[in-house]
Amino acid sequence: MKLVTIDHGSRGTAGALLRSGEILNFSRASSPGTIESWIPTEVRAILEAGPQGLELVRKLVSRVEGGDHELTRRLRHKGALTGPATPLLAPVPAPRLVVAAGLAYKSHLAEMSGTPTPKQPTAFMKSPNSITGPGAEVMLPTAAADHVDYEGELAVVFGKECHHTSPEDALAHVAGYMAANDISARDWIPAVMGATQAWEARQTWEVNIMGKQFDGFTPLGPVLLTADEVPDPGSLEIRTRLNGKLMQHAAISDLIFPLQETISYLSRWYVFRPGDVLLSGTPAGVGVGRKPPVFMRAGDVVEVEISGIGILRNIVRAADRAS
């Protein structure tokens, strides 16, 4: 099942992308006077309801996809079924917690001046204000517009509380997966690489992390593919394209630490709750690792595609005000 958040109302409304390519609006499709009328208007609230919430939504989707042409006609008439061009937000537009794994693929470490392999997963937090959705414009911040880079990643969405979890149980806490772009302003990379003292390195690295926090610097989507359709996330493949040119291509199985190990390790420090997001890291091919470097410019189209999930497409624009 592919959950979406339709760009409708002040906070969006929950729905699903059907096999037909149409978008189903849950609140408009639910049968009055039935348990379906309970379905929340937010994806996160559906996840917070646990397996029962997802199962109820799944039954509604199955009913609509069941081939009842009269039902389909009625749903289209009332605006519960709309075309694939329906504007969408991020599937979880306002996660409480966003954690991003770093130094996750050996291929990426090699292109970044031979960065050594970490002994355990590493991560940093991203501002929830950086979240944006498929089709949204990504504004180049006026304070750091010249070295803005793409980082295609697989995003994990949690479906139940995950804290002090073993690797064997880690994936049982996952509700589903999305494509993500961990956009980064790289202006401070030379200072990081040129640091000669520990304190200097720490200060420059902190500024580098702040270059990932701008509004719109974490596109997510286009859908949340539920975990029951992904028995092995390592089998997924990620591709990032800039203006149609393939820049990144890797299997998720190429991660240094398997996804379940990363989740388990980070759950020592973080309490992940339903709707929280973990970005799993980026493979080789980022702009700053190329010779010469390739950075995004106004008018560029960046796409992150993950098998089974779809294409997360965003357009880069110049900011018309300080940001």
Q: pLDDT-derived band of residue 137, with 50, 70 and 90 as boundaries?
A: very high
Contact 156, 306 (CB under 8 A): no
Among 25-34, 82-91, 106-115, 126-135, which stretch is predicted with the lowest mean pLDDT?
A: 106-115
Contact 255, 278 (CB under 8 A): no
213 closest CA partner among 137, 130, 146, 134? 130
Q: How far apart are CA 30 and CA 8, in angstroms?
A: 17
The residues, ordered by sequence, that sit 6+ positions from 38 with a Cβ below 8 Å of its Cβ are 56
Contact 306, 204 (CB under 8 A): no
Q: pLDDT-derived band of residue 206, with 50, 70 and 90 as boundaries?
A: confident
Q: How far apart are CA 102 and CA 211, in angstroms?
A: 14
pLDDT at 95 over 80: yes
Q: How far apart are CA 48 and CA 71, in angstroms?
A: 29
pLDDT value for 323: 46
pLDDT at 49 over 60: yes
Question: In the structure encoding, which two tokens stand for residue 231, read together?
Answer: 């028995």
Which phi and psi (to 5°) does residue 101 adopt? -75, 145
pLDDT value for 91: 98
Give the domain 92-318 fold: Fumarylacetoacetate hydrolase; domain 2 (3.90.850)
**What pairs with residue 245 in β-bridges?**
242
Contact 307, 301 (CB under 8 A): no
1 closest CA partner among 309, 305, 311? 309
Which phi and psi (to 5°) does residue 176 adopt? 175, -170
Q: How far apart are CA 278 and CA 266, in angstroms?
A: 10
pLDDT value for 13: 97
Among 67-76, 113-122, 240-249, which stretch is predicted with the lowest mean pLDDT?
A: 113-122
pLDDT at 167 over 90: yes
pLDDT at 55 over 80: yes
DSSP-derived 3-state class of residue 105: strand
303 closest CA partner among 183, 214, 143? 183
DSSP-derived 3-state class of residue 130: helix
* Strand pairing report for 88-89 and 2-6: antiparallel
Neighbours of 214 (CB within 10 A): 23
pLDDT value for 321: 59
Domain boundaries, the chain: 2-88, 92-318
pLDDT single digits (tens) 283-311 = 999 999 899 999 999 999 999 999 999 99
How many residues comprise the chain? 323
What is the sign of the dihedral through the CA atoms of 140, 323, 280 and 101?
A: positive
**What pairs with residue 241 in β-bridges?**
246, 303
Average pLDDT in the chain: 93
Question: In the structure encoding, which two tokens stand for residue 194, read together?
Answer: 């040129």
**What pairs with residue 153 in β-bridges?**
180
